[in-house]
């Protein structure tokens, strides 16, 4: 369970999160809203990448302000541009690096890497140069590299933005199949069908909180009213 209590954050004096309080317990939660409405900043507070100016974020009762490392072990983060997340030369090395310092033995690491690569459709690319993968494969690798650490929650910040339609489907299906809690930020509104809950953000506040169809309607109406 993730709890936000009166979370407020400003950049250069401009408030981008304005006193947000939420309890995030559902399996699949979507977060939508206009560019600049504060979605990424909110998402980054969930694993302590951003610590709010005031208020607090609790992950299983752990305050992100005090327990950043422990929180990041529980809350994995996938970015929209996989290139910024892939850091090692080969596919297997990139997955493996997430387990460095975990105290897990070599044989178990190798087994976990193989299993995660297979689950993400990358078994045949084990020793491939990571930078030569297609955009969709890179996003699956970024996902695999986070999933190997077995987070309890996965926050995905527009993971399909740079992908073609086929790969949007591949990544969306992969996210749907996860047992973990998934919090998905997206401008691809149709990927939220079947989600348990969708939040709409506008100007630093959550302005709608409900089921996907109603949330998309609310967001569409909001955008149509904009000059
Ligand atoms: N590190 C930063 N320094 C200064 N301003 C920032 C920083 N990060 C975000 N902002 C500003 O905060 C506001 C909210 O940005 P944020 O990225 O949270 O919005 P978003 O809803 O995720 O937008 P998008 O849909 O475009 O990704 C924007 O005006 C942005 O320019």
| pLDDT one-digit tens code per residue, 6-20 | 999 999 999 999 999
- Whole-structure pTM value: 0.94
Gap from CA of 124 to ligand 1 centroid (Å): 38
CA 139 to chain centroid: 12
In this structure, the dihedral spanned by the alpha carbons of residues 181, 51, 72 and 171, taken in order and rounded to 10 degrees, is 50
More confident residue, 209 or 164: 209
Q: Using alpha carbons, select from 219, 226, 185, 222 the residue that is nearest to residue 200.
A: 219
Question: Which ligand 1 atom lies nearest to the CA of residue 38?
Answer: 18
Does the interface predicted TM-score (ipTM) exceed 0.95? yes
227 Cα to the center of ligand 1, angstroms: 20
- How many Å lie between the centroid of ligand 1 and the Cα of residue 52? 14
Q: Which residues line the pocket of ligand 1, CB cutoff 6 A?
A: 11-12, 16, 33, 35-41
User: How is 43-104 classified by DSSP, letter by letter?
Assistant: HHHTTTSS--SEEEEEETTEETTT-HHHHHHHEEEE-S-GGGT--SSBHHHHHHGGGTTS--
Tokens of 34: 């206009």
Q: How confident is the model at residue 218 (pLDDT cuts 50, 70, 90)?
A: very high
Q: How far is CA 28 from CA 172, 177, 211, in A?
A: 12, 11, 11
Q: Binning pLDDT at 50, 70 and 90, where does residue 165 land?
A: confident
- pLDDT band with cut points at 50, 70 and 90 for residue 60: very high
Across residues 150-163, what is the average pLDDT?
92
Query: CB atoms < 10 A from the CB of 67, how many?
Result: 17
Q: What is the pLDDT of residues 168-191, one digit of tens each?
A: 888 899 899 999 999 999 999 999
- Give 114 Cα–ligand 1 centroid separation in angstroms: 37
What does pLDDT average to over the chain? Answer: 93
Q: Which of 30-34, 49-53, 154-158, 163-167 has the lowest mean pLDDT?
A: 163-167
Residue of 8, 30, 31, 38 with the most ligand 1 atoms within 8 Å of its CB, for mutation: 38
What pLDDT is attached to residue 61?
A: 96
Architecture of domain 2-225: 3-Layer(aba) Sandwich (3.40)
C-alpha dihedral, 16 to 17 to 19 to 23, nearest 10°: 170
Could you give the CA distance from residue 28 to residue 26 in angstroms, rounded to a whole number?
6
Report the pLDDT value the prediction gives residue 163, as an integer from 0 to 100.
Answer: 82
Question: What's 42's DSSP letter?
Answer: H
Averaged pLDDT for residues 145-154: 94
Q: Tell which one of 7, 16, 45 to mutate to probe ligand 1, the residue whose CB is within 8 A of the most ligand atoms.
A: 16
141 CB-near residues (< 8 Å, 6+ apart): 82, 86, 91, 94, 95, 120, 122, 130, 133
User: 133 phi and psi, to 5 degrees?
Assistant: -70, 160
> What is the mean predicted confidence (pLDDT) over 95-106?
85
Closest atom of ligand 1 relative to the 33 alpha carbon: 21
pLDDT at 101 over 80: no
Q: Closest Cα to atom 29, ligand 1: which residue?
A: 36
Residues 26-49 have pLDDT tens digits of 999 999 999 999 999 999 999 999
Domain boundaries, the chain: 2-225
What φ, ψ does residue 66 adopt, rounded to 5°? Answer: -105, -25
Distance from the CA of 174 to the center of ligand 1, in angstroms? 27
**Sheet with 28-33, edge to edge strand ranges:** 75-78, 153-157, 181-185, 28-33, 197-202, 205-210
- For the chain, the distance separating the N- and C-terminal CA atoms, rounded to the nearest angstrom, is 38
């Amino acid at each position: 369970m993730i709890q936000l209590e009166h979370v407020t954050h400003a950049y250069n004096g401009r408030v981008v999160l304005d006193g947000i309080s939420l309890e995030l317990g559902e399996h699949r939660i979507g977060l939508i809203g206009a560019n600049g409405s504060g979605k990424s900043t909110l998402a980054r507070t969930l694993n302590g990448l951003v610590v709010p100016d005031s208020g607090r974020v609790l992950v299983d009762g752990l305050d992100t302000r005090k327990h950043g490392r422990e929180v990041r072990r529980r809350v994995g983060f996938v970015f929209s541009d996989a290139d910024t997340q892939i850091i090692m030369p080969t596919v297997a090395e990139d997955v493996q690096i997430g387990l460095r310092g975990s105290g897990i033995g070599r044989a178990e690491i190798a087994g976990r890497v193989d299993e995660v690569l297979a689950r993400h459709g990358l078994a045949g690319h084990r020793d491939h140069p990571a930078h030569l993968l297609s955009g969709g494969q890179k996003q699956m690798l970024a996902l695999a590299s986070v999933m190997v650490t077995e987070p309890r929650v996965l926050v995905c910040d527009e993971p399909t933005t740079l992908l073609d339609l086929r790969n949007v489907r591949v990544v969306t299906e992969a996210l749907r199949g996860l047992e973990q809690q998934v919090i998905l930020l997206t401008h691809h509104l149709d990927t939220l069908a079947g989600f348990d809950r969708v939040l709409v953000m506008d100007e630093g506040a959550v302005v709608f909180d409900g089921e996907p169809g109603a949330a998309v309607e609310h967001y569409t109406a909001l955008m149509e009213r904009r000059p």
